[in-house]
Amino acid sequence: MHWRYRTTHAMSHAERPRRAPLIAHLIYRLDVGGLENGVVNLINGMPHGEFRHAVICLTSHSDFRDRIARPDVEVFALQKPRGYGMSVHLRLWKLLRQLRPEIVHTRNLAALECQATAAAAGVPVRVHGEHGWDVGDLDGRNVRHLAIKRSLRPFVHHYVAVSRHLERYLVTRVRVKPEDVSQIYNGVDTDRFRPATATHNALPASLRGDPRALVVGTVGRMEAVKDPVNLARAFVRVVEMVPEHARSLRLVMVGDGALRREAEECVRAAGLSSQVWLPGARNDIPEVMRALDVFVLPSLAEGISNTILEAMASGVPVVATRAGGNPELVDDHASGALVPPADPEALAAAIARYIRQPGVRLEHARRARQLAVERFSLSSMIARYGQMYRDLLRRKLPALKGAPGEPREGLSGR
């Protein structure tokens, strides 16, 4: 087991120190991903004296946990086996009884069932976040998933939707009261992700040898819901569409997953392997973003894409599918272009336009950066989460009279 309990000695009410309220962030696994990146950014960015944090992984974690900069944050891994795994709920119940968080914040369907366990453990404030879809349920209409969400709704005090699209889904499909939903966009660190001062430095020498190189790229999991093969096919088509630029075009696809080999085979079959870089997962994403001339997100479904925000903040125009929350980020024909999902011809046409029209590309890059700074800053996201947590604590913990760290015997949740 890679989890442990904190041990405490019994103390009287008067002896208990008043500590900042503890938020337990409960996720399926802590690894590279947009949802997980958002959790880490939130923890790192919130004022240290106002809240304490713990991360509970239903399964396990990778070294991605090292991105949590605060030394006081514990990460627990419950090692949930495949399937339902009732035993994990007993372990979770015991852990929550030991940690005694004021707030449990679960995220996405894989962790939603833990709301009932948190209620049984006496956690007084229970929040659930909807962050997007997966390939098995691209529009949230899976009957079984919807039944689960509706059945667990009474255990959730408040919901967070990362897009207006998901907010509408919670209200109309899951039947959550509008006042019980906060819509909070993901935020991007506009200092870490910033426009380039040099060109293509993060790329291998084989790709940046030509000073005329035009780099099209993406960052993300190579899984079906992200549809990376669609981009590979579109790149092959772009080379055919703009023969005058064919030799200077480059494709960068950062990330790993089940479809990486198929994407590689697609460009290899077209004889373009020397113009394509698929390095797998990387830790230098800000530098990679600054090396791109056009960012592409070919997903079949999205909540709110962190990589779109990172590209925008880096001053890179975005071509994205018209899926999920993407239209809420990309200002079509002003900071980027929106195309239908699973349509390599439309994707290629949008990319080719940026190749042919450098003036449009530069203007859209400028506007993308402006939107990232004005609408989607990390500081704004952190402030909104902090306000939501404070409001919920005041509403649900009246007996504490401003001291959330005091004993909670007798509190009943909703």
Q: Which of 24-33, 63-72, 131-140, 313-322 has the highest mean pLDDT?
A: 313-322
What range defines the domain where residue 352 resides?
A: 205-375
> Do the domain assignments include residue 12?
no
Distance CA 303, CA 413 (A): 29
Evaluate whether 127 touches 160 at the Cβ level (below 8 Å): yes
Quick check: is 247 in a domain?
yes
Helix-strand-coil percent breakdown of the chain, rounded to 5? 45, 15, 40
In the chain, the number of structural domains is: 2
For residue range 237-247, list pLDDT tens digits in order.
Answer: 999 999 999 99
* Domain presence at residue 233: yes
Q: Are residues 257 and 366 in the same domain?
A: yes
Does residue 68 form part of some domain? Answer: yes
- State whether 113 and 256 are in the same domain: no
Q: Kindly report the CATH number assigned to the domain that includes residue 131.
A: 3.40.50.2000
8 Å CB contact between 375 and 186: no
Residues 145 and 180 in one domain: yes
Same domain for 371 and 381?
A: no
Tell me, yes or no, whether 320 lies in a domain: yes
- Determine the pLDDT at residue 17: 53
Look at residue 96 and tell me if it is in a domain. yes
Residue 2 covered by a domain = no
| Per-residue pLDDT reduced to its tens digit, 320-367 | 999 999 999 999 999 999 999 999 999 999 999 999 999 999 999 999
Q: What is the pLDDT of residues 182-207, one digit of tens each?
A: 999 999 999 999 998 866 677 887 77
Residue 263 placed within a domain: yes
* 172 and 46 both lie in a single domain: yes
The answer to whether 126 and 413 are in contact (CB under 8 A) is: yes
Are 261 and 145 part of one and the same domain?
Answer: no
338 shares its domain with 395: no
